[in-house]
Amino acid sequence: MTEVRYNWTKEEIAEIYHTPLLDLVYQAATIHRENKDYSEVQISSLISIKTGGCSEDCAYCPQAARYNTGVNVHAIMPKDEVIAAAEKAKAGGASRLCMGAAWREVRDNRDFDKVIEMVKAVNSLDMEVCCTLGMLTESQAQRLADAGLYAYNHNLDTSEEDYKRIITTRTYDERLDTLKHVRKAKISVCSGGIIGLGETVADRISMLKTLSNLPKHPESVPINALVPVAGTPLADQPRVSVWDMVRMIATTRIIMPKTVVRLSAGRTEMSVVEQAFCFMAGANSIFAGEKLLTTPNPSFDTDMAMFDLLGLSPRKAFKNGRPNEVKEVEVAG
């Protein structure tokens, strides 16, 4: 059985990352196959409950108010629209719904009260509910947990060293504090990053070190390929190589063996063969549904055809327990 470690060094992670590609995939696939459910893929569907107009300056993000990206700015969505979207996602095979808001942080106001009602409503559809709302205090995390929130997504995005190049309106430590608050409230932690921001390989390794040295590994780690959006400072970044995606996924799988690794943004640019490589390298989750938050994503039907072809099956909701009783990732799956 693979040992779960929390003391990976940058040197060790770099050595894994730079392993010849086929050996790396073989090693990651071997670890993945120790998990009896390796052919199951967890499907999350995203919904943007509050779009655009964000005060932050994240260089990759189409929803930052300061960039002209043509995104349709929307106030918070009514609860019945969220429920309709959740039902559609469930019918498409999704076991998790992730509600995203273009906020720097949550404020204790009527919009947050509405999110709490949405969490309760989606939970009652027997779906795992996730939110990504920006920074949270301890009491806000607890309120979400009490409403039945299953998971919270809060990405580190890049390394601590590279953070200021990408975002100047908040610090890495603030990001880590929110992760602590989420953990303390016993909500499942989802935290990963983006590649293709112009970061170095050392930055990727540093981010993976931070994630794998947390007191507990995140239950999910999304690996996003930058979706370059016109109007953002990173609009002209070249498309990230699929081999970099494979290396990142395989390294994540090896150093966090029990974690769900999500092949996240960037799939519209990838062929089925390229995605199959990512699943082989240990990815066991995707975002499904025509849209991510504001950019396109493959449709449920396209993904189901891919699952049939590759012999993958969607994972059922609540496999690791109900909200507040999520099994720790150290427990063998």
Contact criterion met (CB below 8 Å) for 207 and 216:
no
Instruction: For the CB of residue 34, give the shortest distance to ligand SF4 in the complex, in Å.
Output: 35
Q: Which of ligand DTB, ligand SF4, ligand SAM, none has residue 294 at its interface (CB below 5 to 8 Å by kind)?
A: ligand DTB
Decide: helix, strand or coil at residue 142. helix
Our finding on whether 54 is near ligand SF4 (CB under 6 A) is yes
Q: Between residues 56 and 128, which has the closer beta carbon with respect to ligand SF4?
A: 56
Tell which residue, 227, 295, 296, 222, has the closest CA to residue 259: 222
Instruction: For the CB of residue 224, give the shortest distance to ligand DTB in the complex, in Å.
Output: 5
Q: Between residues 25 and 130, which has the closer beta carbon with respect to ligand SAM?
A: 130
- Binding to ligand SF4 (CB under 6 A): which residues in 58-87? 58, 61, 63-64
Q: Which residues bind ligand DTB (CB under 6 A)?
A: 46, 62, 98, 100, 132, 153, 155, 192, 222, 224, 227, 264-265, 292-295
Tell which residue, 108, 115, 146, has the closest CA to residue 50: 115
Instruction: For the CB of residue 332, give the shortest distance to ligand SAM in the complex, in Å.
Output: 29
Catalytic center residues: 54, 58, 61, 98, 130, 190, 262
Tell which residue, 206, 149, 158, has the closest CA to residue 323: 149
In whole angstroms, give the CA distance from residue 158 to residue 207.
Answer: 6
Residue with tokens 């092949």: 263
Instruction: For the CB of residue 19, give the shortest distance to ligand DTB in the complex, in Å.
Output: 25
Point out which span in 2-10, 57-65, 73-81, 312-320 binds ligand SAM (CB under 6 A): 57-65
Q: Angle at which helices 242-255 and 201-212 pack, to 10 degrees? A: 30
Residue 47 phi/psi, 5-degree rounding, is -140, 130
- Binding to ligand SAM (CB under 6 A): which residues in 228-247? 229
Annotated binding site for [2Fe-2S] cluster: 98, 130, 190, 262
Instruction: For the CB of residue 54, give the shortest distance to ligand SF4 in the complex, in Å.
Output: 3
Structure tokens at 252: 């994540």
- Binding to ligand SF4 (CB under 6 A): which residues in 88-117? 102, 104
Q: At a CB cut-off of 8 Å and minimum separation 6, what does 191 contact?
A: 153, 154, 155, 156, 179, 211, 218, 220, 221, 222
Contact criterion met (CB below 8 Å) for 291 and 83:
no
Our finding on whether 155 is near ligand SAM (CB under 6 A) is yes
Out of 17, 27, 56, 148, the only residue in the binding site for ligand SF4 (CB under 6 A) is 56
Q: Which of ligand SAM, ligand DTB, ligand SF4, none has residue 280 at its interface (CB below 5 to 8 Å by kind)?
A: none
Note the residues at the interface with ligand SAM (CB under 6 A).
60-61, 63, 100, 102-103, 132, 134, 154-155, 157, 194, 224, 226-227, 229, 265, 293
